[in-house]
Structure 1
Amino acid sequence: MTYPPHRSGEETGMTDRVFARLKPVELDGLTEEAYLRRRSDDLARAFRTPRSPQRSRRLTMPRLPFLITAATAVAGAAAAVIVVPGLVSGESAPGAPTAAAIPRGSQTPQTVDARSFLLAAAVTAAREPAESGRYWYTRERVTQKATTDEVEYAAEVKSLVEKWEAEKKELKGRPSELETARKELERKIGELKASPPAVPYAVTTAYTQDAWYARDKGDSSRTIGNQDVKITFGSPEDEAKWKKAGSPVLRNDKPSTVSFDHPLPLSIDNPTLTIQNVASLPTDKEGLERRLRSLYGKSSAKDRSDFAGYLPQTSLDLLRAPLTPGTRSALFKVLAEQPGITSQGEVTDVLGRTGVALTSRFTADEGSFELRLTFDKESAKLLEYAITKEGESSPLTRVAYQDTGWVDRLGDRSRD
């Protein structure tokens, strides 16, 4: 099955995606007094640290744009570390000095890993002021590789459906044969989804989407997609192949508005979690983890992944939602216990913003992937996620969050 294009919130909910699991550890030096002195300085300093030469190897794999619904088994890779002055990894080598043992002002190199980032982020998130409004607003810049020849795909689906309609008439009154034909149709459509016709040229589409998700029952939500559409070909030869194929429409470049009144699930796996009720999630680590494990036990994900595979996907959905500061902090703490999360140091998102990247691996029916989440260096807010398939040099999908926040009217933005 190929990854479908990024869709509006009405079509797919918030998202279906991935992260992983580490061991709990206290972050030395992040006492109340120290935090009040430095505010978010520890987090910002750690995020500014360049990537360690030991980690120059890139993991070649990739939420898909709110979209992975297949199995997500996260590989148990060890957390990478980077050298920073001031924070100490929770997994120091035997005999290594602890934060308490290193005098203030010492230039001794110390290390911080993904777990330490997440624990620092938990402290920062807890300090954020609580906010609310009538609509949760998001502005996203979505960049996607075109992987499926939509014209050929649609033609093949149409052919299968037409054949089915003819068989229905021919087999009328013969229920057992009709059921066999129906199952054969399902099998063929399943095969087509698993191996759709690929585009014979390299091309990337990008567009912006605004969304206003209503907080209260009775208010309508709205999305406006296909704004500022840009098409980029891999080479002049790829563009020539596209023209030879009849210059098929790769993305509608007319803004499309969709309004809807029903509650919006955050993901297919968690239909009970919506924009309207995430504010009621527990604000303590233990309570939130119990709730997430309960949701996992009721989700379809339990049939294809363990909790460590389920949690990152759900966490990405939650990080995009209007969580309270307490719940966001608790979520970072739960993530800090998961294995397989690796710090990639500083990266730049598609909007040119610099942040820290945390990656994890997962597998789906389509292969192995890397999920990369990029966080703001000071606020620890999610800037972007990217999915890269193993063996490919560039992401299948990148979704950058240009603006998020509460507003009081449809059409308003959280900031200019």
Structure 2
Amino acid sequence: MKDIMQELAEARPGHLSGAGRVGEEVRRSELGRAFSQPREAVRRRGHARRLVPAVAAGAVAVTAAVLVAGTGGGTPTPRRSTTAAPFRGDSVLLAAADVAAKQPMGEYWYTNQLSGLSFVVKGGYAITCAHMETFEWTAVKAGGGHLFYGRDLPARPLAAEDEAAWRKAGSPSISQVWNTDHYTPCATKAGSWKPDINHDKGGSFFVPGTAVELTAAEAQHLPTDPAKLTKMFLVRDVNPARAKMDPVGSKWLNDPAHVVRNASYAFANAPLPPKVRAALMRALAAQPGVRNLGTMTDPLGRRAIAFGADWTDGRPDRGRGGKVVWTKFGYTYREVLLFDRKTGEYLGDEAVLVKPGGRYRTRKPGFVLHYELLRGSGWTNKKPSPPSKLPFH
């Protein structure tokens, strides 16, 4: 049985984890929480995932950063724009079920994701560093195989205004940023795809953040009752003894933003049938503190309907004598899930600044702290290969 602080560490937002230079195993764990597939831990199905791109050498806590050297630029990231009136989700749910039903189950399930962490540099503009793309496929049949790939993506200005400020500063190269008390490297060019070394034989799909591991057949027969899906994927059971020992930390585990985070694990990692995905969307929208945020534009320029919940200002940490204390950030942010506005397909999640303060006192509401986007996923009868085309120009 896990210690409550271990659970809290695993549930902690990836971009807030890590402080200073740490051992390689800790680095991998911290990166696992921040990077795509296994955000809250690197270990899956009993083996350690090796994050092979060079950027994995740096810890990933986000803080105010100082520019040193490297390469940046490219097409500016589209900025978000939120509609004044909430977007009605029922039609999207129905469209999602209709579109997904047209794609039959194949022999392999694949997911292609990219993630990035935002840093504010000395020039006052923001860049995306610790930038990574992953590609993973799993065979439906046990013994059919499973493979995970990763590659670095070059650092780049975060949004249009950051692109303009970067160019005004002479388009300086970006190779590392100051991160609390050490330098975090930034890739200066796109890396090549490198496969993970593992012994996973496929046949099942693990959902991080839960104890759920499903075969393809089990995934196809999941319940469509929102209440059952809530218990399975969204809300964590807390042992009464632990709740009594640490009421603050235990309550924090089922904070509305944690519920949103847990939903992202299910949408991104499991081949959910259309009716199940639609029911899970309904279950998420019904959770206390979760709001329909209208429409937004994600960093890939895709129009999306968004659901989200705000993180409170702080998190529980172990203080002196082992007592759990509340550590404040000085700012609040929002965990946001994005769905395609026309098809209802899951697009990814973002952490968005709500109330500036602390290390983000110079940023405006809406600043993206980090993102994990689903670039593509689906079924195929041929063993999948990662895309050669980069997600950004």
TM-score category, normalised to shorter length = 0.5 to 0.7
Per-residue deviation at 1:9? 3.7
SS of 1:296's partner is coil
Per-residue deviation at 1:349? 1.6
Q: For 2:139 and 2:349, how far apart are their aligned partners in 1?
A: 24
What whole-Å deviation, never above 9, does each CA across 1:162-186 have from its counterpart, x for those lacking one? xxxxxxxxxxxxxxxxxxxxxxxxx
Per-residue deviation at 1:254? 3.9
Work out the number of aligned pairs and report it. 271
Per-residue deviation at 1:260? 3.0
Q: Is the 8 A contact 2:297 2:304 kept in 1?
A: yes
Structure 2 partner of 1:211: 136
Structure 1 partner of 2:150: 225
Structure 2 partner of 1:250: 186
Structure 2 partner of 1:2: 17
What whole-Å deviation, never above 9, does each CA across 1:326-375 have from its counterpart, x for those lacking one? 21121122123223333443322222222223332123525632122222
- Structure 1 unaligned spans of 5+: 16-66, 69-79, 84-112, 149-197
Q: For 1:147 and 1:275, how far apart are their aligned partners in 2?
A: 43
Of 100, 104, 109, the match for 1:131: 104
What RMSD in Å do the two structures reach over aligned CA positions? 4.4
Q: For 2:119 and 2:215, how far apart are their aligned partners in 1?
A: 30
Per-residue deviation at 1:385? 1.5
Q: Is the 8 A contact 2:233 2:263 kept in 1?
A: no
Q: Is the 8 A contact 1:284 1:326 kept in 2?
A: no
What whole-Å deviation, never above 9, does each CA across 1:193-251 have from its counterpart, x for those lacking one? xxxxx9x9954233432221333322322122115x22126644895896899997423
After superposition, residues 232-381 of structure 1 pair within 5 angstroms as 232=156, 235=166, 236=169, 239=172, 249-251=185-187, 253-262=191-200, 265-267=206-208, 269-274=209-214, 276=216, 277-292=218-233, 296-297=237-238, 302=250, 304-306=252-254, 308-320=256-268, 321-363=270-312, 365=315, 366=329, 368-381=332-345
Of 97, 115, 122, the match for 2:93: 122
After superposition, residues 397-408 of structure 1 pair within 5 angstroms as 397-408=370-381
Tell me: CA distance 1:410–1:260, structure 2 relative to 1, closer, same or farther (3 Å). farther
Letter in 2 for 1:270: T
Tell me: CA distance 1:411–1:232, structure 2 relative to 1, closer, same or farther (3 Å). same
Per-residue deviation at 1:293? 7.1
What whole-Å deviation, never above 9, does each CA across 1:85-126 have from its counterpart, x for those lacking one? xxxxxxxxxxxxxxxxxxxxxxxxxxxx46x42x44333344
Q: Is the 8 A contact 1:208 1:226 kept in 2?
A: yes
Q: For 1:310 and 1:248, how far apart are their aligned partners in 2?
A: 27
Letter in 1 for 2:252: R
Q: For 1:144 and 1:126, how far apart are their aligned partners in 2?
A: 32
Q: Is the 8 A contact 1:213 1:275 kept in 2?
A: no
Q: Which has the higher helix share?
A: 1
Per-residue deviation at 1:12? 5.1
Say if 2:344 is the partner of 1:384: no
Letter in 2 for 1:382: Y
Say if 2:384 is the partner of 1:411: yes
Q: For 1:341 and 1:368, how far apart are their aligned partners in 2?
A: 15
Per the normalisation by structure 2, the TM-score is 0.55
Per-residue deviation at 1:412? 4.6
SS of 1:230's partner is coil
Letter in 2 for 1:328: R
Q: For 2:346 and 2:110, how far apart are their aligned partners in 1?
A: 14
Identity %: 17
Q: For 1:204 and 1:145, how far apart are their aligned partners in 2?
A: 5
Per-residue deviation at 1:139? 1.6
Per-residue deviation at 1:405? 0.4
- Structure 2 unaligned spans of 5+: 1-15, 19-29, 44-59, 62-81, 243-248, 316-328, 357-362
Structure 2 partner of 1:105: none
Q: Which has the larger radius of gyration?
A: 1
Tell me: CA distance 1:275–1:142, structure 2 relative to 1, closer, same or farther (3 Å). farther
Of 125, 137, 141, the match for 2:114: 141
